[in-house]
């Protein structure tokens, strides 16, 4: 039995601290260091871990953590604008690094991440948990087994009523939504679709064209629910709904939505449609030629009996698993890849491609929907890289 890898966690906001119980259930790691420059959050994180008998070293400054040099990998769970620079510092120190998800503020920042990972050779993984979602993985299996025929079309998105969270002036995410207009959170949607379509592995994203609706959701929300909120006087720059059309090298069309300011139940709005049938998250069902009658849907709880992905067949739920298990799966996948010196299941090219869509959708929106070229972050290697599935 290998010794567990010594893991550091940087960033103990709601996400980082919320993940601590999940990290404590990943048997390939032992949490030996935690870091946040907010001392109160650092102490809270330490107390939460102490309840589980875990006593890591505490750091207010991650540079000191790097200087100590006694960790085997790091999970970076800071905020949107700091993921890339913090990750680069760890890559330069030869510490395998995984970052939480976000969109990028610029395409240049994505290139910098790619170049530093290539220069250092340090493993990097993007923690897009939705790639490990149960339905997403079942659909991946169906596509790999040809059940849907040739996939030609996909829909995806981030449809989440965040009005309450985005009315807290202290949250950094609010400032982004106040000032920026585009798809600010693309990766939960595009990640699983990109895996299904073998993006950067024989296929690539070519162009994105985005348009936004009016932005009225927050104004009306404040008027009705929170008239004293200082943000009430602000005009949110971000459209209530941003729709983007993305064209792929192998011909597929993807429709991606960002929809966080209007009342609605949560959805990632995944649709995968091929020449033999489709999966629809909103219907929670599949329809396949030859298997189902005309106009007939089969619910996923029935379809999963045949198409459950092996990763989910082997998974057993525990109370610490966030987001229905996919958090644990993605955190564990990184640790296993580092331990086994295996390729990263979601690598730096995936990260750069998916994150760049935010900056590109902002540009496209500002230009009235003009298509923007999505860079080939693999520098041509997408033509040779073989499809490789998650593990």
316 CB-near residues (< 8 Å, 6+ apart): none
Pick between residue 162 and residue 286 the one whose CB is nearest to ligand NAD. Answer: 162
What Cα–Cα distance (Å) separates residue 81 from each residue in 67, 84, 124, 237, 361?
23, 7, 18, 18, 17
218 near 167, Cβ under 8 Å? yes
309 near 137, Cβ under 8 Å? yes
What Cα–Cα distance (Å) separates residue 86 from each residue in 25, 126, 326, 351, 372?
25, 13, 24, 15, 28
Residue 45, phi then psi, degrees to nearest 5: -60, -40
**Beta-bridge partners for 280:** 271, 285
Question: Quick one: tokens of 264?
Answer: 């609605």
Which residue from 23, 75, 80, 222 is in contact with ligand NAD, where contact means CB under 6 A? 80
Site membership for ligand NAD, residue 161 (CB under 6 A)? no
34: buried, middle or exposed (CB in 10 Å: 19+, 13-18, 0-12)? buried
Which residue from 100, 281, 347, 362 is in contact with ligand NAD, where contact means CB under 6 A? 100
Site membership for ligand NAD, residue 79 (CB under 6 A)? yes
Find the shortest distance in angstroms from Cβ 85 to ligand NAD.
Answer: 8
182 near 364, Cβ under 8 Å? yes
CA distance 220 to 218: 5
The residue of the chain with the least Cβ separation from ligand NAD equals 13
Pick between residue 24 and residue 273 the one whose CB is nearest to ligand NAD. Answer: 24
Site string (207-246) toward ligand NAD, x via CB under 6 A: ----------------------------------------
Which residue from 20, 31, 87, 101 is in contact with ligand NAD, where contact means CB under 6 A? 101
Which residue from 27, 172, 175, 381 is in contact with ligand NAD, where contact means CB under 6 A? 172
CA distance 390 to 195: 8
Find the shortest distance in angstroms from Cβ 387 to ligand NAD.
Answer: 24
Pick between residue 11 and residue 21 the one whose CB is nearest to ligand NAD. Answer: 11
Which residue from 8, 73, 86, 151 is in contact with ligand NAD, where contact means CB under 6 A? 86
Q: In this chain, which stretch among 8-16, 47-55, 259-267, 336-344 interacts with ligand NAD, using CB under 6 A?
A: 8-16
In three-state secondary structure terms, 184 is: coil
Site string (29-58) toward ligand NAD, x via CB under 6 A: ------xxxx--x-----------------
Site membership for ligand NAD, residue 324 (CB under 6 A)? no
Which residue from 102, 197, 199, 270 is in contact with ligand NAD, where contact means CB under 6 A? 102
Find the shortest distance in angstroms from Cβ 185 to ligand NAD.
Answer: 7
CB-side neighbour CA atoms (13 Å) of 32: 17
Site string (346-375) toward ligand NAD, x via CB under 6 A: ------------------------------
* Secondary structure E strands in the chain: 5-10, 29-35, 57-59, 73-76, 97-99, 124-126, 151-159, 205-212, 241-248, 253-259, 271-274, 277-280, 285-288, 298-299, 372-373
Binding residues with ligand NAD: total (CB under 6 A): 25
Residues that bind ligand NAD (CB under 6 A): 10-16, 35-38, 41, 62, 77-80, 82, 86, 100-102, 129, 172, 323
């Amino acid at each position: 039995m290998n010794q567990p890898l010594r893991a550091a966690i940087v960033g103990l906001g709601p996400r980082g601290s919320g993940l601590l119980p999940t990290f404590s259930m990943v048997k390939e790691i032992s949490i030996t260091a935690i870091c946040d420059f907010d001392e109160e959050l650092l102490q809270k994180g330490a107390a939460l871990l102490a309840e589980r008998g875990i006593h890591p070293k505490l750091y207010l400054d991650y540079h000191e953590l790097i200087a100590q040099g006694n960790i085997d990998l790091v999970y970076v769970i800071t905020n949107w604008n700091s993921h890339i620079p913090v990750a680069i510092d760890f890559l330069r120190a030869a510490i395998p690094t995984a970052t939480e998800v976000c969109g990028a503020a610029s395409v240049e920042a994505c290139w910098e991440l790619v170049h530093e990972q290539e220069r250092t050779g340090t493993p990097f993984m993007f923690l897009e948990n939705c790639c490990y979602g149960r339905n997403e993985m079942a659909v991946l299996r169906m596509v790999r087994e040809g059940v849907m025929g040739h996939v030609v079309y996909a829909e995806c998105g981030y449809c989440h009523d965040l009005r309450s969270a985005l009315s807290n002036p202290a949250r950094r995410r609010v400032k982004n939504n106040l000032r920026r207009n585009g798809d600010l959170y693309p990766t939960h949607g595009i990640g699983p679709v990109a895996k299904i379509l073998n993006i950067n592995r024989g296929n690539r994203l070519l162009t994105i064209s985005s348009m936004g609706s009016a932005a009225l959701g927050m104004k009306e929300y404040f008027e009705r629910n929170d008239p004293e909120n200082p943000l009430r006087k602000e005009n949110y720059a971000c459209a209530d709904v941003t729709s983007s059309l993305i064209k792929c090298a192998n011909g597929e069309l993807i429709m991606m939505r960002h929809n966080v300011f209007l009342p609605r139940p949560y959805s990632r709005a995944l649709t995968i449609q091929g020449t033999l049938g489709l999966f629809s998250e909103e219907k929670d069902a599949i329809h396949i030629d030859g298997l189902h009658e005309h106009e007939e849907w089969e619910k996923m709880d029935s379809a999963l009996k045949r198409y459950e992905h092996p990763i989910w067949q082997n998974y057993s739920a525990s109370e610490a698993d966030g987001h229905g298990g996919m958090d644990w799966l993605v955190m564990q996948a990184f640790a296993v890849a580092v331990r086994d010196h295996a390729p990263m299941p979601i690598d730096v090219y995936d990260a750069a491609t998916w994150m760049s869509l935010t900056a590109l959708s902002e540009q496209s929106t500002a230009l009235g929907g003009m298509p923007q070229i999505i860079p080939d972050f693999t520098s041509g290697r997408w033509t040779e890289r073989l499809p490789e599935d998650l593990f």
